[in-house]
Amino acid sequence: MLPLERVTRGLARAGQTHVLQFWPELCEAERAAFLQELSQLDLQGLRDHCEGAARAAAATAARLDQHMEPVPPESIGSARKSDEDSLAMWGDEGSLLVVYRNLCHLQVLFLSTGLLQISASRVGVLLLAGGQGTRLGVRFPKGLFDVGLPSRSSLYRIQAERIHKVQQLADRKHGSRCSVPWYIMTSEFTLAPTETFFKENDYFGLEPSNVVLFEQRMLPAVTFDGKVILQGKGKLAMAPDGNGGLYQALEDHKVLEDMQERGVQYLHVYCVDNILVKMADPLFIGFCVTKGADCGAKVVEKAYAAEPVGVVCRVRGVAQVVEYSEIQPETAELRGPGGGLLYSAGNICNHFFTRAFLQDAAA
Kindly state whether residue 55 falls inside one of the protein's structural domains.
no
Question: Residue 167 forms beta bridges with which residues?
Answer: none
52 pLDDT higher than 90: no
- Mean pLDDT computed over every residue of the chain: 86
For residue 187, how far is the Cα from the chain centroid? 13
Kindly state whether residue 133 falls inside one of the protein's structural domains.
yes
Kindly state whether residue 197 falls inside one of the protein's structural domains.
yes
- Please give the DSSP secondary-structure letter assigned to residue 335: B
Percent of the chain with pLDDT over 90: 54
94 pLDDT higher than 60: no
Mean pLDDT value across residues 242-268? 92
Residue 90: per-residue pLDDT: 45
Of 146-155, 232-241, 246-255, 330-339, the one with minimum mean pLDDT is: 232-241
Residue 132: per-residue pLDDT: 65
Mean pLDDT value across residues 257-273? 96
Contact 213, 169 (CB under 8 A): no
247 pLDDT higher than 80: yes
Contact 170, 178 (CB under 8 A): yes
Residue 59: per-residue pLDDT: 62
The residue type found at 350 is N
Residue 37: per-residue pLDDT: 87
CATH number reported for the structural domain that contains residue 174 in this entry: 3.90.550.10
For residue 348, how far is the Cα from the chain centroid? 10
Question: Residue 271 forms beta bridges with which residues?
Answer: 128
Residue predicted with more confidence, 105 or 234: 234
The residue type found at 27 is C
Kindly state whether residue 192 falls inside one of the protein's structural domains.
yes
The b-or-e profile of 76-111 (16+ CB within 10 A means b, else e) is bbbbeebeeeebeebeebebbbbbbeeeeebbebbb
Kindly state whether residue 168 falls inside one of the protein's structural domains.
yes
Rounded Cα distance, 142 and 201, in Å? 16
Kindly state whether residue 171 falls inside one of the protein's structural domains.
yes
Rounded Cα distance, 101 and 79, in Å? 6
- Give the helix, strand, coil percentages of the chain, each rounded to 5: 45, 20, 35
Residue 273: per-residue pLDDT: 87
Residue 135: per-residue pLDDT: 61
Mean pLDDT value across residues 263-275? 94
91 pLDDT higher than 50: no
Kindly state whether residue 336 falls inside one of the protein's structural domains.
no
State how far the alpha carbon of 317 is from the alpha carbons of 67, 68, 70, 313, in Å: 8, 8, 10, 9
Q: Which of 130, 252, 149, 255 is nearest to 193 (CA)?
A: 130
Rounded Cα distance, 243 and 256, in Å? 17
Residue 262: per-residue pLDDT: 97
Phi then psi for 315, rounded to 5 degrees?
-125, 120
Phi then psi for 222, rounded to 5 degrees?
-130, 160
39 pLDDT higher than 60: yes
Contact 156, 237 (CB under 8 A): no
Domains in the chain, number = 1
Per-residue pLDDT of 149-186, as tens digits, reads 999 999 999 999 999 999 999 999 999 999 999 999 99
Rounded Cα distance, 266 and 358, in Å? 10
Of 199-208, 223-232, 293-302, 307-316, the one with minimum mean pLDDT is: 223-232
Q: Which of 329, 323, 302 is nearest to 242 (CA)?
A: 323
Residue 362: per-residue pLDDT: 85
* Residue-by-residue DSSP string for 242-294: -GGGHHHHHHHTTHHHHHHHHT--EEEEEETT-TT--TT-HHHHHHHHHTT-S
The residue type found at 11 is L
Residue 95: per-residue pLDDT: 47
For residue 322, how far is the Cα from the chain centroid? 15
Mean pLDDT value across residues 80-87? 58
Q: What is the pTM of this model?
A: 0.84
Rounded Cα distance, 281 and 277, in Å? 8
Phi then psi for 187, rounded to 5 degrees?
-130, 180
Residue 147 is part of which domain span? Answer: 92-227+240-295+352-363
Residue 308: per-residue pLDDT: 94
Kindly state whether residue 261 falls inside one of the protein's structural domains.
yes
Q: Which of 63, 64, 104 is nearest to 80 (CA)?
A: 104
Residue 75: per-residue pLDDT: 76
Per-residue pLDDT of 2-38, as tens digits, reads 688 888 988 888 889 999 999 999 999 999 999 888 8
Residue 24: per-residue pLDDT: 92
The b-or-e profile of 249-279 (16+ CB within 10 A means b, else e) is bbbebebbebbeebebbbbbbbbbbeeebbb
Mean pLDDT value across residues 49-62? 68
Contact 124, 259 (CB under 8 A): yes
333 pLDDT higher than 50: yes
The residue type found at 47 is R
Residue 164: per-residue pLDDT: 96
Mean pLDDT value across residues 328-335? 93
The helix or strand, by DSSP H or E, that contains position 44, with its residue range, turns out to be helix 43-58
SS3 state of residue 104: coil
